[in-house]
Structure 1
Amino acid sequence: MTDTANTREERQPVLFLPHGGGPCFFMDWAGWDKMEAHLRSVAATLPRKPSAILVVSGHWETRVPTVTTAEKHSLLYDYYGFPDHTYHLKYPASGSPALAARVRSLLTQADIPSAEDDSRGLDHGVFIPFMLAFPEADIPIVELSLREDMNAAEELRVGRALAPLRDENVLIVATGMSYHNLRQFMTGDPSTDAIARTFDSWLSRTVEAAPAERDQALVNWEQAPGARICHPREEHLLSIMIAAGAAGQDRGARTYSDVVMGKALSGFRFG
């Protein structure tokens, strides 16, 4: 399925990537240039080309963690009201039934129930950022769902179970947005700009803290300043729990920081 890394230096990191707003990078929409540049830089920062990618986005929720098992992916254009050409974007990456089986095996070993889906396509939280980060579409991809109960502690446990994949040359990627209040974001409401900055600072400090402190703070993320204003619903933040769990004892670092339409946004790397 995958080759095994020979040294710690070859272990793949874990990434939390911002995926932007809908197909923002493929239309005339100002403000996303720095995020686009960050996504385009990702592959060059890896220790080597991954054999496969396991990705978790904020756009798929199921009762138990579920993996895609198709050999070939369709795409889900799960955004609305954008120009016609954005519904014809292509990203022909293959799937990996072998990686999907390995994911389920690791979850079973950790006593975490799981399921599989052989027909679901990749949502825009995957193919939009990956068109920039991995434009050749030549790395097999398996998508993993979030739990629909939004249990942060359980998502951390999922991530911990999947950590061995990093030594098998599998890149674990979580995509989402560190700020995701669409009403205030898309309308450019300036009244919460300072709140967004405060929450972003908290999240950055938390990710960069010692792993035990980091994980405890992430589980209790709702106690952070402005948490529920920045995330009225947490699906776009929750994937970072899986990333932190898979990081193990590797500390995190902020690798992207910007202000888009007044709201502070960040991306992170573990390991």
Structure 2
Amino acid sequence: MMPSLFIAHGSPMLAIENNSYTQALNQLPNLLPRRPRAIVMFSAHWEAFAQEVGTMETFPTIHDFGGFPRELYEIQYPAKGDREIAEETVSLLQAAGVPVSLNTSRGLDHGHWVVLRMMYPNADVPVVALSVNPNLKPEQQYAIGKALSPLRAKDVLIIGSGSTIHNFSYLDMRETSGGAFEWSLEFEEWLNRTLTAWNVADLAEYRTLAPHADKAVPVYGSEHFVPLLYAMGAADDQPVAKRLHMSFRYGSLSHTIWQFGEA
């Protein structure tokens, strides 16, 4: 079985940097049992009220950010789609009662390609892109991931791309040494305890149970947090969670990698 992964995509600058986090991303394929047949990937930067499943012959690269070095806008990640896996993904969601549609026009945003480029720089693993819906309840997001669990037995790698802490109001742009605010550490450690215990009930109530939750996951935008729930749900049949990496940028922007299920 393939595990599922939650990966923080951080700042777009990661795409052109060499640091402890990019090195951890580079090494991720070595931790998998085999090369994936395809990658099914939820990105925080694709929000939709109904679940969308994206496939194309070759995905265009979306540079959905502004004010960064020109080098970033020149990056292309021409991943191929996988129509068969995309259609199976749609069928699994429909069987679980999830409203879903196939999208054949949207490219890969930086939540997809910043991560994928670190793992598979040659863009030679087919991709199926998935939207997120932050308006759903955590239990519903988890259930969508759970519906896709059978794909893991077919060597499909399921990834949720977002960030467990993502709040521009609490970024210290001068903090580039890797230091973290105490509240950030406390939130991440609560998550560590909750996920490793596979305590889905408490995770669903993170807004009230987790320390500093409204700082970590702003009430006006949980889209970066919810890919964690999709990825965890995808390993519901193998409830083992392991944090593979944690580091910080700007005091609170967390770079975490979580593995769900056994590799």
Normalised by the size of structure 1, how large is the TM-score? Answer: 0.89
Matched, 1:222 2:207: yes
* 1:231 paired to 2:217: yes
Letter in 1 for 2:201: Q
The one-character-per-residue Cα deviations of 1:128-166 (angstroms, maximum 9, x if unpaired) are 111111112111001111115143111111011000000
1:196 corresponding residue in structure 2: 184
1:178 maps to 2:164: yes
Backbone CA RMSD of aligned residues: 1.7
- SS in structure 2 opposite 1:23? helix
Letter in 1 for 2:67: G
Preserved contact between residue 15 and residue 72 of structure 2 (Cα < 8 Å): no
Q: Is the 8 A contact 1:150 1:234 kept in 2?
A: no
Aligned to 2:141: 155
Q: What are the superposed Cα offsets for residues 216-248 of structure 1, whole Å, 9 maximum, x if unpaired?
A: 122112121101101112111100101111111
1:261 aligns with 2:250: yes
Counterpart CA distance in 2 for 1:118 and 1:265 is: 31
Q: Which ranges of 4 or more aligned residues in structure 1 deviate by more than 3 Å? A: 186-189
1:116-127 equivalences in 2 (<5 Å): 116-127=102-113
Matched to 1:246, the amino acid is A
Deviation at 1:90, TM superposition (A): 1.3
**SS, match of residue 35 in structure 2:** coil
CA 20–52 in structure 1, closer or farther in 2 if over 3 Å, else same? same
* Aligned pairs for 1:31-180 within 5 A: 33-180=19-166
Are 2:174 and 2:250, in contact at CA under 8 Å, matched by a contact in 1?
A: yes
Distance 1:150 1:81, change over 3 A: farther
Q: Of 159, 167, 173, which aligns to 1:187?
A: 173
Q: In structure 2, what residue type is equivalent to 1:225?
A: P
Gaps of 5+ in 2: none
Deviations 1:171-205 (A, max 9, x none): 0011111210123225358xx81111110101111
Q: Which deviates more from structure 2 when the two are superposed, residues 261-270 or residues 70-79?
A: 261-270
Asked if the contact 1:57/1:239 (under 8 Å) is kept, the reply is yes
**Structure-1 separation of matches of 2:167 and 2:67:** 18
Count of matched residue positions in the alignment of Structure 1 and Structure 2: 253
Gaps of 5+ in 1: 1-10
Aligned partner of 2:231 in structure 1 is 243
**Separation in 2, partners of 1:188, 1:91:** 30
Higher fraction of helix: 1
- State the distance in 2 between where 1:84 and 1:136 align: 21
